[in-house]
Amino acid sequence: MRKDGRREDELRPVKIVRDFLSHPEGSCLIEFGDTKVICTASVTESVPPFLKGKGQGWITAEYSMLPRATHTRNIRESVQGKISGRTHEIQRMIGRAMRTAVDLTKLGERTLWVDCDVIQADGGTRTASITGAFVAVADALIKLYEDGIIQSVPIKDFVAAVSVGIVNGKPLLDLNFEEDSMAQVDMNVVGTGEGRFSEVQSMGEEYTFSRDELDNLLDLALKGISELVELQRALYEANRSIGYWKRKEVKEARF
């Protein structure tokens, strides 16, 4: 058993609250244990210059952490006047994950701006952001459809993300901050509802890992992703016969 009482293959308690904010086209609050992130999806009627005239849309993301999301206060990056390499990396990862799940050719020449703001951090902020961002994006796309702006909801599949790692020689699912800080191997995995990988980030900290250990970690990640997708499914009902994802009247899902 881990210090927080979880099994090695067990996620932290996860909670997703849809429509968390009133103004964005899509929004949610997502909690992975003590990690809490507000995710929003906003629609603008334009695309980046490289897509103008091509008839397709785009999804991009921004990520930030409140100054007291951690144990000590951090200086806002806007005050520092530059975005850190870590923030750039996470923003791009979130954007790539969302573009994996959406058929951009059916979005028209408009952009979905995904904003993920960490209000409390205890490890896994990027994976929580990706999992919550999908919920916000799905709501925004459904609103565009219901308003008659697009002809269908262009979601190809669910997408979620989770961390795994080797800590004290043991493979663990969904690392909290303490586990992440002492991990010998740290991996972030993005996957789909169909069980396919979108992205894998992995590194050893003064440690190498074998092919068998890698396979074990990927299997552990897919288990966690499938559980997160089921939580997303509790908020959205797949209705393939009419070609879009029909929203249920459900505001919250948790396990």
Tens of pLDDT, residue by residue over 28-63, are: 999 999 999 999 999 999 999 999 999 999 999 999
How far apart are the C-alpha atoms of 172 and 192, rounded to whole Å? 20
Structure tokens at 63: 């990520």
Task: Point out the least confidently predicted range of 71-85, 87-101, 180-194, 205-219.
Answer: 71-85
pTM of the model: 0.94
Per the structure block, which two tokens stand in for 175? 């690392």
Average pLDDT, the chain: 93
State how far the Cα of 185 lies from the Cα of 190, in Å rounded to an integer: 17
pLDDT at position 248, please? 66
- Positions of E strands within the chain: 14-18, 26-32, 35-44, 58-65, 111-120, 159-167, 170-173, 185-192, 197-204, 236-239, 244-247, 252-254
Q: Report angle CA 98, 104, 110 to the nearest 5 degrees.
A: 100
Q: How confident is the model at residue 76 (pLDDT cuts 50, 70, 90)?
A: confident
Q: Which residue has the higher pLDDT, 249 or 28?
A: 28
